[in-house]
Structure 1
Amino acid sequence: MAATHIFDSPPDGVAADWTMPQNWGAFTAEQHATWRTLFDQQSAAITDYACRSFLDGLDILRKLKPGVPDFAELNALLGPATGWEVVAVPGWIPNQPFFEHLANKRFPAANFVRPPEQVAYSEEPDMFHDIFGHIPMLTDPSFSDFLVAYGQAGLRAEKLGASDFLGRLWLYTVEFGLVVEEGELRAFGGGLMSSFAETLCALTSPEPRRIWLDIERVMRTKYHFDQYQQTYFVVAGFEELLRATEETDFASVYRKIAGDTALEPGDAWCDDVAYEGRLPPARPGPANREAAR
């Protein structure tokens, strides 16, 4: 992936916490037009595939003036509704500030828009991915609490040298997660919401594996950067996702899998429970799973 907005230290004009002025007035007419094209295309395409929380949350973005969102205008709506604010960052930032922002209900958004020739597919996450793909889900209280818990877990993982394991949980939920809603499978991950082609693959293709979320399994599993995922994880609801996060002793999972070879993206695992259009059977909780084996 030809990503260019990756930094090891804050560039000029970026604060120590990696935030920066959005400077909304500097965006060009071409960039505003690119945003409008992306927003109109994606919001229409995903209507029958996105979960209800995402579709309802899009209303906040629809209330903004057309074009690249002005974060000051967005935060004036988002804050009272969710307690979150969007902060501009230069692109991919290190783990520590990323986790700190999430733990304090600040969502980092890349302060650049993909070029027009990448409307169909951006080579790196841009502002459209971050805002369109993720901000609507902040309006769901349980998902919002999950992100805060994730940020807090991330700060602990940094101290344990386990951030890579936790990063897999982010990718397979926040970016490419699926949820069961009224008996139907729906998408909620931002990587899916900003890519209609992969949304169709995740929900309708016979090729990928679709299995019920198991946090240990997720943390064992590598993922793709530059192609569709081969495995998608399904949650029964966002309350379930939050519960699983709160009840899992992450440090114990890190220790357990630290010396094991990671699963390739398409591999099966002994504890996999495939999604077959119905709720999964009851599973042992993290505390007694070893005794159940």
Structure 2
Amino acid sequence: MAQTEMIAPPGAREDWTIPQDWAAYTAQDHAMWDRLFARQTQMLAGRAVPEFLEGLDILRMTRPGIPDFAELSDRLMQRTGWQVVAVPGLVPDRLFFEHLANRRFVAGRFIRQPEQIDYLEEPDVFHDVFGHVPLLANPVFADYMQAYGEGGLRAHALGSIERLARLYWYTVEFGLIRQDDGLKLYGAGIVSSHGESEFALDDPSPNRLGFDLKRLMRTRYRIDDYQQSYFVIDSFEQLLRMTAETDFAPLYAQLDGLPDLDTDTILPTDRVFTRGSQAYANKKKEEDAL
């Protein structure tokens, strides 16, 4: 949830946080949350990583209605030291990283309307809270998110935010994980999307490739549709270890001398779980050309 403009909008604090104003939600707002929650939890059974589903229970997010950020933060704080803070929309890059580095997850407070149930451009409270917050109850993933925020502040100073943004996109938002019983979902952009929850695991169209930091950070991504490639980690410990042990400054310098990779690229060095047909993306291109 980042942008470049630094001036806080009216009503927001200097760090862009605002009150959630939970009492202002209508019965229709809570009903929309419950509708989305029921649909997604039914879809995610056996598909999402167990740590995500456990987080829903640990944080008592299974109760009806949009969660109260204050109550949610109390439970998170006891578990991993994180808080959820409301913001009016996309926040500046540096502030976004500062919040993560200080274990504050920024979340939009509005919820989509019925006509937006399957797609909306700006993340709402369902994407931000249902999609992201359950894994913040997992100590290893919680540490990874803080480490990412700290890395983001360094990347901001080095002018390398675009490279690091790809890491967030392909892990936090659209990551897959390999477990004993197969591939599972953990990225917030997938688990909060009914369509992509199915597409990311079952559709023959996308590539599913083994996680490689340098390769991933060269790879463009889609913001307007389902991903053409997903990257598969072996564990959350792998993510945390990679972030903690990698010196990103020389890595950024190496990447600046290499070309970007298209979203559907497969390299000879890739560890390929699925070589996608790209049928979905190709069909969309044909439709757009008409």
Q: How does 1:117-266 map to 2 (within 5 A)?
A: 117-266=115-264
TM-score (norm 2): 0.90
Of the structure 1 ranges 250-259 and 221-230, higher mean CA displacement relative to structure 2 is found in 250-259
Please tell me whether the aligned partners of residues 15 and 95 of structure 2 are also in contact (alpha carbons under 8 angstroms).
Answer: yes
RMSD: 1.8
Consecutive unaligned residues of structure 2, counting only runs of 5 or more, are 275-290
Whichever residue aligns with residue 53 of structure 1, its letter is: E
Whichever residue aligns with residue 165 of structure 1, its letter is: R
CA distance in 2 between partners of 1:89 and 1:40 (Å):
25
Consecutive unaligned residues of structure 1, counting only runs of 5 or more, are 277-293
CA distance in 2 between partners of 1:158 and 1:46 (Å):
35
CA distance in 1 between partners of 2:61 and 2:152 (Å):
33
Residues 46-105 of structure 1, C-alpha deviation per residue, up to 9 Å, x if partnerless? 112100100100114545752121111111211111210001011111110100111111
Number of corresponding residues: 273
- Structure 1 residues 167 and 6, CA, compared in 2 at 3 Å: closer, same or farther? closer
Please tell me whether the aligned partners of residues 173 and 189 of structure 2 are also in contact (alpha carbons under 8 angstroms).
Answer: yes
The corresponding residue for 1:11 is 9
SS in 1 for 2:272: coil
**What is the deviation of 1:270?**
4.2
Please tell me whether the aligned partners of residues 218 and 260 of structure 2 are also in contact (alpha carbons under 8 angstroms).
Answer: yes
SS in 1 for 2:183: strand
Please tell me whether the aligned partners of residues 141 and 240 of structure 2 are also in contact (alpha carbons under 8 angstroms).
Answer: yes
Please tell me whether the aligned partners of residues 6 and 91 of structure 1 are also in contact (alpha carbons under 8 angstroms).
Answer: no
The corresponding residue for 2:89 is 91
The corresponding residue for 2:283 is none
CA distance in 2 between partners of 1:6 and 1:245 (Å):
23
TM superposition outliers: structure 1 runs of 4+ over 4 Å: none
Q: How does 1:57-72 map to 2 (within 5 A)?
A: 57-63=55-61, 65-72=63-70
CA distance in 2 between partners of 1:14 and 1:125 (Å):
18
Whichever residue aligns with residue 196 of structure 1, its letter is: H
Residue 102 of structure 1 pairs with residue 100 of structure 2: yes
SS in 2 for 1:81: helix
Residue 267 of structure 1 pairs with residue 265 of structure 2: yes
**What is the deviation of 1:153?**
0.3
CA distance in 2 between partners of 1:61 and 1:246 (Å):
27
**What is the deviation of 1:116?**
1.6
The corresponding residue for 2:37 is 39
CA distance in 1 between partners of 2:255 and 2:263 (Å):
16
